[in-house]
Structure 1
Amino acid sequence: MASGSDSKIFRKIYLGIIIFIAISLPLSKSTMTQGMALLLALWIWSDFQISVALRFFKQKGLFTGTFLLVKYFYVLAKESIIEKTTLFFRNKPAVVFASIYLMGWLGLLFTGNFPKATDVLRIKFPLLLFPLVFASLDPVNKKEFRTIMLFYVAALFAGTIIGTAKMISGNFVDVRQFSPFISPVRFGLNITFGIFGLLYFLAKDTSFRFWQKGIMSFLVLWFVWFLVKMESVTSLSLLVIILLGMLFWQGMRSKKRVVKFTTVFLLVAIPLGLVFYLKNEIYQMTHVKASACIFIPKKTVLGHPYVFDTVHYGIEDGRYVGAWLCLPELKQAWNERSTFSFDGKDKNGNPIAITLIRYLTSKNLKKDAAGVSKLSQKDIQNIENGIANSCYVNHPGLHSRLLVMVKGWQVYQKTGKAGGSSILQRYEYLRAAFQVIRKNFWTGTGTGDLFDALGHEYIRLNAGLENYVGFLAHNQYVDTFAAYGIFGFLWFLFALVYPPVKTKSFHDYFFVVFYLIMLGSMLSDDTLETHAGVTLFSFFLSLLMFGKEKSNAVQSG
């Protein structure tokens, strides 16, 4: 056992490493890995005593002392691994939770692509590491957990500042670049959990002063604004759904009728309001106002005739894309301003002509020489980069996101190709995955073969997913069923439910909101198939179930 002073040092280092990992979750995949390596080293040599190590050199000299130090490290590692592994195996919920990782090893029995299977097991190692460590070391107390969360929120804020700087600079072609370090989906999930953490500190934690809560209130609004600008549909949806669930839970527990009535009213009004907003937005995007067609000039400023095509080009953001179109002028004017040929393709592989026409439409410019002359050099670069609507980069947000969805749906209706919309892509991913499940119902494809099996189905479906071979189903539950079969899928569900029930973690506010965020995210994303996703999932769930004092539990009810 470590001495008292060494034990205090160990405790500080342990907390420091946990904070280091928490900070890394939204900011750096490489430091996530480094943090896990430090945590594993600390777990192995937690009983190390500096006084013992120094005694070797004082009594035996440099050469013999070095030899004894190496032996000391070996003995400590051996004893520590045996002792802590024993503690881990006595913790049945932790073992069951870690078995999600062990499923990957069993899946090797049915895989043929061992290099890919090895890569999957490497990525998912946090599923074993965090429950193993947190279940066999002393849990953090309430004050320590608060410190962890505050550093985590600070890291989130730093990440959003960097993303906002990217946004303000205008030097981006996709809102996904607002998350420069990890996937924007994972970044959004981190921010969502940070928002709920701040809401707890604002409503329940009395240790903060008024001005500190003022800063936290600002951060909540800032994070919500950033999610909107980053077009994080998944994160915003989870935020609204969980908040409505919390409203329902608290409202129904009240004994006052007026509170219950208000709760029911809000639970009905808010979803209806969102539906009305979406319906109105989509209508405005897909219909042209009658006033827009009252005056239609027949010729350009240069005297060439316009084409007013309301059929072939369709409607985008309430405007006819084929209105006021003069292709000869457009071609000449474009070729004078860009090295990308009018008859060629943009960087996304789409015809430059179509991208240019749509871009001019989005800026409410006529598709002629005069319209091209009004484009800035930045506009020209945007078109060359394949940005077909100025709103995508000049006004990122929910309206822009909805424009992409509507356009993707229009293309899908005409061509059956889903490449233009992430939602339609997910639909086709699921179609392919269900075919894989049908063919591998009992045993699954195995740990490494899922990518190949899905890629084959993407090509076979001919739905425009040929460029997405290597992508999974964007649904963790379906991915698990396809990879490990019906029995693996059922065990996966059991491993998600049994540990929190057994550890009574559903009484912990932080656990409940994070658990719901993770389970919800897995409906639309491969959360456990990426380094950032699986680390986020396993770190906080393991910490909240096994690495945090139960006296620190915050009643969610």
Structure 2
Amino acid sequence: MQLGKKLSHENVFFAGILLLAIALPFSNFLMSFAQIILVANWLLEGNLKNKWKSFLQNKLALVLSGVLLIHIMGLAYSVDWIYGLNDIKKKAPILLLPLIFSTSPKMEKEKIMLVLKVFIAAVLTATLYSSLILFGFTGKEITDIRQISTFISHIRFSLMISFSTLLTAYFFKTSVGKARLFLGLTILWFVGFLILMESLTGLITLSAGTFLLLFTLMLQQQNKAVKYTGFAVIFVLLVSPALYLAWELRQYYDVEPLNPSTLEEFTSRGEKYYHEYESQEIENGNYVRIYIARDELKEAW
């Protein structure tokens, strides 16, 4: 089907991608609407037979779509078909988007960069709105930090923030002047917001992505001194948390043998302590079954 010169299939495809980039951190409805636009445009463009052949020859698209097929096959072992079908409905874009992207004309670099910038702007706007909720400017009562992500799941939101941080770092590298300053502040804001959001998932994802990028940059580095210094820094940054964790685990389990003669017998209020000497249960490097004052516990709890 032929559209007008201005309303070409290529322009509709680009508009659908832009809408999808805006909708991702904000609205599941808008995201579905953008996907409907992309699918309808893809079908109306025709040439479906050749598109299908092109899709089957694209290994990356097949792998990405294969994730959904695994879920579909998993229905055979599901005890809750309703939940399973709803889950597949949510993951349907995993099949549709690789199919559409791999069989549509490639976008120019300028358009791709614009889509990424729009996505960063959308995520930034969503974080600013969430911060207004967190600090009480919207009047919404917050009992759980996850509630500041009002539009989408807090886990998906944190992953988008992590991805946006890495994208912003990419643009920061090539920017100058005020734009560079703004992007630098945006990176700091994204990282700070993940901490504010208490998102361990987002921080781990961001850290993993950062290490991967640094490793790639070091591989491309021609100066051997800079390359080896960079690898040394990456190694230290990777090993240090592991060593710290090992030390903490050792402190957790490595406790001195329990000596009954050193334990106090009475509380400050005169109640006799109950000590279960035979128990070896340990938590945070301390024995759990000692210094138990039942009456005072009941009173306090």
Verify same fold: TM over 0.5.
yes
Change (3 A) 1:123 1:314: same
Counterpart of 1:86? 49
Cα shift at 1:309: 6.4
Alignment of 1:3 with 2:9, yes or no, is no
Alignment of 1:270 with 2:233, yes or no, is no
CA contact (8 A) 1:98 1:127 kept: yes
Alignment of 1:299 with 2:267, yes or no, is yes
Change (3 A) 1:258 1:23: same
Counterpart of 1:421? none
CA distance in 1, matches of 2:278, 2:133: 38
Counterpart of 1:124? 91
Counterpart of 1:200? 170
The residue identity in structure 1 corresponding to 2:107 is V
CA contact (8 A) 2:16 2:38 kept: yes
CA distance in 2, matches of 1:230, 1:135: 36
Counterpart of 1:188? 158
Alignment of 1:254-269 (within 5 A): 254-269=221-236
**Deviations along 1:244-276, whole A, 9 cap, x unmatched?**
333333324434331133023213211221223
Cα shift at 1:201: 0.3
Cα shift at 1:325: 4.4
Change (3 A) 1:7 1:121: same
- One of 80, 85, 103 as aligned partner of 2:69: 103
CA contact (8 A) 2:21 2:115 kept: yes
Counterpart of 1:171? 142
CA contact (8 A) 1:287 1:319 kept: no
Q: Unaligned 5+ residue runs, structure 1?
A: 45-79, 335-557
Alignment of 1:148 with 2:111, yes or no, is no
CA distance in 2, matches of 1:6, 1:264: 50
Alignment of 1:393-404 (within 5 A): none
Change (3 A) 1:258 1:89: same
Change (3 A) 1:85 1:271: same
CA contact (8 A) 1:286 1:315 kept: yes
SS at match of 1:265: helix
CA contact (8 A) 1:104 1:121 kept: no
Alignment of 1:188-337 (within 5 A): 188-203=158-173, 205-206=174-175, 209-282=176-249, 298-301=266-269, 303-307=270-274, 316-317=283-284, 325-334=292-301
CA distance in 2, matches of 1:331, 1:259: 63
The residue identity in structure 2 corresponding to 1:251 is M
TM-score by length of 1: 0.43
CA distance in 1, matches of 2:82, 2:26: 28
Cα shift at 1:305: 3.8
CA distance in 2, matches of 1:144, 1:150: 10
CA distance in 2, matches of 1:158, 1:101: 31
CA contact (8 A) 2:72 2:88 kept: no
CA contact (8 A) 1:288 1:319 kept: yes
Q: Unaligned 5+ residue runs, structure 2?
A: 257-261
CA contact (8 A) 2:25 2:160 kept: yes
CA distance in 1, matches of 2:275, 2:142: 34
CA RMSD, Structure 1 to Structure 2 (Å):
4.1
CA distance in 2, matches of 1:180, 1:311: 50
CA distance in 1, matches of 2:24, 2:290: 48
TM-score by length of 2: 0.72
CA distance in 2, matches of 1:178, 1:308: 45
Choose 139-148 or 318-327, whichever is displaced more: 318-327
CA contact (8 A) 2:28 2:152 kept: yes
CA contact (8 A) 2:68 2:91 kept: no
The residue identity in structure 1 corresponding to 2:36 is A
CA distance in 1, matches of 2:89, 2:194: 30
SS at match of 1:21: helix
The residue identity in structure 2 corresponding to 1:212 is A
Change (3 A) 1:156 1:279: farther
**Deviations along 1:212-242, whole A, 9 cap, x unmatched?**
2222222222323333454544443443344
Change (3 A) 1:311 1:152: farther
Cα shift at 1:186: 2.7
CA distance in 2, matches of 1:269, 1:248: 13
**Deviations along 1:102-142, whole A, 9 cap, x unmatched?**
83698499668765664454233213322333344443323
